[in-house]
Amino acid sequence: MSERLEDMDVTHEGMCLGTKAFMKQLLGVGLVLGCALWPITAPAQDGAIESLRQTGKAFSAVAKKVSPSVAFIQVEENTEDEAGEVGGWPFGDDLFRRFFGDDFPGLSRRQAPRKPRRAIGQGSGFVFAVDGDNAYVLTNNHVVEDARRIRVKFPDGRAFDARVKGTDPKSDVAVLEVAAKGLPALKWGDSGRLEVGEWVVAMGNPFGLSYTLTTGVVSAKGRTSLGINDYEDFIQTDAAINPGNSGGPLLNLDGEVVGVNTAIFSRSGGYMGVGFAIPSNLARVIAEQLLTQGKVVRGYIGLAVQPLEEDMAEALKLKEVRGVLVNQVYADSPAQRAGIRPGDVLVSFDGKALDDGGQYRNRAALARPDSIVTLGLLREGRLMEVRVKVGRLDESASERAEAIRALGVSVRSLTQEESRRLGLNEAVLVTSVEPGALAARAGIGPGTLILEVNRKAVSTPAAFMAALAESEGSVLLRVAVNGRSRYVTLRWR
């Protein structure tokens, strides 16, 4: 600058006036710089506020668009009251137990019969299809499971009794039918196009507070190993989800359903910043099958896979750790007929990369029976593509396989000599037990006799497995060791 600072007058509108000396220097420069920011800062602040205002209006627009289709679901179910004690003190025994313990004289010991009582549960849902005078509401299976009566309410004040059209516990999806006119169906969005960081809106009825909206972002995608459902591909979001939100829609800013709010991660029972939603691309396929068929038909390829670890990749002479390792190919399965082998590494399914076993299982299950899918795999370091004709999953066989894996036992029939010596005509003998499996933890070991499965006598391995196939997450066994028998309940869900 040719002029000296102390000789300058700053007179531009919006700037500081009359700085004359370099006091004058530091103070003057501070004033000039501080004031010079004003014409820039004010518009920037106004722009930020306007941007927030527009964001708020976007959320309001979503609420107005979708709220007529969001349902408040109340469920009545019969349950048993806690066993009441007969006799005791006139004001009840709890007070005396609290201060004096269970051994205080006069405390009752006899239990009254359990009495049925009506329990009220609640959740959320949304209309996804309309047919004439009927509307179809999607919700979570766990919301309506074991329901005696289901009541569905809408923001316009109408309430209807609902009928269960179909349920799929493995994906935790259920479809309800209500005789109602004038309810708009929400539009499905493509959950595959969601990106981490994208805004989403959750609608539902947390804690019975009807038609609540919360906002957040997509925190993560493809959560497949949480142990919540059999088939998992969850969207993780920080939009607040609480008890009562289950079954409500997760929406993008266009008001399209991109997920079904299902679960939260919590140590307190309430919201802690991590919620999970079934992606729309999974929920939609399940819901449409339940609507049209009343059940879900899943595809079957016939593979078992495991994670590909770094040392395995090195042993297989792979250049990178990607995909899932095939550890078993089932006999007479589509995979076997297509020439897939144990030791192959699956890296893609119909052109989409495979990162873990959950992704493979979901995509195989969603594949339409009799359709052709293309599996990309690595074999001895060479990339191949194999076309597989998808079969139909036998759910009973799947249940049986799951039960056998969970129990961890192998059995055989008794020989004639063993039957004569033991005096038993109907029993199977445990030949081996996997360490740490359910059977081992229950004290069942080699040499144990299994007499009954779910109160049915069994005498052959086939009868044993057929009885297990009827079990849904637990089994009642009658076993015998050294001539003494006992009942054992084993649960794997």
3-state secondary structure of 410: strand
Alpha-carbon span 31 to 48, nearest angstrom: 25
C-alpha torsion angle, residues 219, 220, 221, 224 (rounded to 10) = -120
Catalytic residue among 172, 233, 238, 344: 172
State how beta strands 391-392 and 382-389 pair. Answer: unpaired
Per the annotation, the verdict on 12 as an active-site residue is no
Per the annotation, the verdict on 172 as an active-site residue is yes
Tally the C-alpha atoms within 13 A of residue 397's C-alpha that lie toward its C-beta.
8
Catalytic residue among 142, 219, 413, 471: 142
C-alpha torsion angle, residues 390, 394, 395, 398 (rounded to 10) = -90
| DSSP structural state of residue 435 | T
Alpha-carbon span 324 to 227, nearest angstrom: 19
Per the annotation, the verdict on 171 as an active-site residue is no
Query: How far are the Cα atoms of 330, 397, 424, 435, 442 from residue 479, in angstroms, in the given order?
Result: 31, 24, 13, 19, 11
Contact 33, 84 (CB under 8 A): no
Residue of 191, 240, 185 whose CA lies nearest to 216: 240
Catalytic residue among 124, 171, 219, 246: 246
Tally the C-alpha atoms within 13 A of residue 124's C-alpha that lie toward its C-beta.
33
**Segment (H or E) for 428:** strand 428-433
Alpha-carbon span 472 to 467, nearest angstrom: 11
**Segment (H or E) for 362:** helix 357-366
Indicate which residues carry an active-site annotation.
Answer: 142, 172, 246
